[in-house]
Amino acid sequence: MRISHFLPLLAGALLTAPLGSTTASAAPIAEAAPAAKPAAITRIDPTFWWVGMKNPKLQLLVHGPGIGSSTATLNYPGVTLDGVQKMASPNYLLVNLTIDPAAKPGKIALQFQGSKKVRYEYELRARNTDPNRVQGVTSADFVYLLMPDRFANGDPKNDVIKTTNVSRVARDSMYARHGGDLKGIEQHFDYLKELGVTAIWPTPVVENNQPKASYHGYALTDYYTVDPRYGTNAEYVGFVKNAHAKGLKVIHDVVLNHMGSQNYLFRDQPAPDWFHQWPGYTRSNFRDAAFNDPYASTMDRKLFGEGWFDTHMPDLNQTNPLVATYLIQNFLWWVENTGLDGYRVDTYSYSDRNFLMQWGAAIMEEYPKIGLFGETWVQGTAQQAYFAQNIFPEVQGFKANLPGVTDFQMYYAINETLTKDAGWTEGINKLYYTLQADWMYQDPMRNVLFLDNHDLSRYYSVIGEDFQKYKMGLAWLLTSRGIPQLYYGTEVLMKNFSDPDGKVREDFPGGWPGDKKNLFVAAGRNAQEQEAFRYVSTLANYRRTHPALHSGKLMQFIPDAGVYTYFRYSDAGTVMVMMNSGKDEKTVDLARFDERLAGFSSGVEVTSGAVLADLKMAKIPGRTAWVVELRK
């Protein structure tokens, strides 16, 4: 996620402020709320829990007017009350429990005693014991990134929810809600399967009840609730189950660094130290280099990690152990409740370093198969590798445990390949040098490759709508190492520049009744759109069934005269990829590649079926990528 798409809307905007503040344009110094008479509990987070979690400890955050003055008791076999803890706000009380593995599922009767008694039944559930429920995300997957609000509207009845701050649909506004939802995605599972997709990554589906630009989901207002305009919690559980039945995994997009200003935890803050507080609104400097710069000033580092991402995105203080526990429990809760397969972590590098290690360890301990990758929009491979599991010892108290990252360095390299002429290190040679730096990662196959995403100008526009270059980029995406990710609509040539970001977040044509075009079906596509879809589908489905491409070894040869050749190989077969980035045809002496060609006599280009009968010399046209299955 990046900041630019909020600026036109939010500069000087007056938002509903938390208690003790007058506006959200400045981060408040929280004041003690006035004493309130004890009343019914409004909520407890986590909303329910399970018997048999590896960590038996559970921290309940109880919220209700005046509840902080209460004591708590319970009597439930196998559940021990370890004590309660008051917060700065009288409207919160922490209840600490230990749940024995032998405890039985049921309703725990929590009794709160203040000036009057309050009773709350807290549900303890049985865990799902299916060993294949959380499948993880691997290099064998092909990930499809979409924005639920902009993909398809499957249930018009949830378009307008009157209790939300944005209770209207306006498809002609790039910042308004458009009506897309979980049901709309589900109705197009077959489309995604035809394309060769194996995993769906929706941008955040949790509640975002902000008054502006709430459609993107990155300013969450309730950690435990699906946005009602997308569906219900039960429907999301069904969505994951139905995706699995179709052979599709689900990646849940999460934000660790900040929340939305309309979140109840910010409007009525448990304590001032739950957030990074400043005398006046202070934005992050967005300079991740300060995170580990050995020469960084204290202020630069503080601004990066503690400055707010935007006026309506309060920055969480993860050095507070209560905040850390709250976040960790929430992300365990979503996995256990839904069976999701992986997490994509937004703005990963902005979070506290010790917290990142603690969060990653807790998630992986409970769900060792889960897929985890973080957004690392940084400069330089060394900086990117710093945030992933790497070969380096602990640096300044930080040792990354994140398996993979969004590979912006490879994104920069493929863009340079397709937009600049080859030089000693420029153009297509940047691909070679970027991949050469993979020695820094423990396993670069866990990095996520992409041509564009919801924050970037669309790929087809960046390359000047050059269809030959389009195919080159897709060939690279689906044959290089790592986990390929496609942004929705790239397969049918959706285009535009992120000036502002809303222009690259347009509705998928055909996702709404009455759309003039329907690109979900072949009959609705023009010849070039159909050719683009066919090209992606052919390569993706070939990749899915050929282990050499998705999990085999990689050998690359230094580009020569603008032609870059690499091989993916395993016991199951060998694929040669040759990319000519120049505009003119090149004759390539294949004898240079004998160490990988030995034993093969011919090859077949996967997307066209053309036969390469001679493995001694090849003439590859300009602006062309060949994906050649070698034959003996």
- Cβ atoms within 10 Å of 282's Cβ, excluding its own: 17
To the query of whether residue 375 is one of the catalytic residues in this protein, the response is: yes
> Do 250 and 341 form a contact (C-beta atoms < 8 A)?
yes
Can you say how many angstroms the Cα of residue 226 is from the centroid of all Cα atoms in its chain? 16
Residue (of 490, 491, 507, 497) closest to 456 by Cα position? 497
Return the beta strands (E) in 127-234 as ranges. 143-146, 199-202, 206-207, 222-226
The single-letter DSSP state of residue 273 is G
Annotation says 346 is catalytic: yes
Measured in degrees and rounded to the nearest 5, phi and psi for residue 618 equal: -145, 140
Distance CA 262, CA 219 (A): 9
CB atoms within 10 A of CB 552: 21
Q: What is the phi/psi pair of residue 554, to 5°?
A: -125, 135
SS3 94: strand
- Contact status, residue 283 vs residue 307, Cβ threshold 8 Å: yes
Q: Which of 288, 346, 352, 452 is catalytic?
A: 346
Please report, for residues 187, 414, 461, 523, the alpha-carbon distance to residue 510 in angstroms, rounded to integers and kept in the order given: 12, 30, 21, 12
Tokens of 371: 């897929």
Helix/strand/coil for 627: strand
Catalytic option among 45, 141, 186, 375: 375
Q: CB-hemisphere CA count at 13 Å for 471?
A: 25
**What string of DSSP letters covers 360-401?**
HHHHHHH-TT-EEEE----SSHHHHHHTSSBSS--BTTB---
CA distance readout (Å), 412 to 36, 379, 418, 618:
55, 10, 10, 29
Catalytic machinery residues: 346, 375
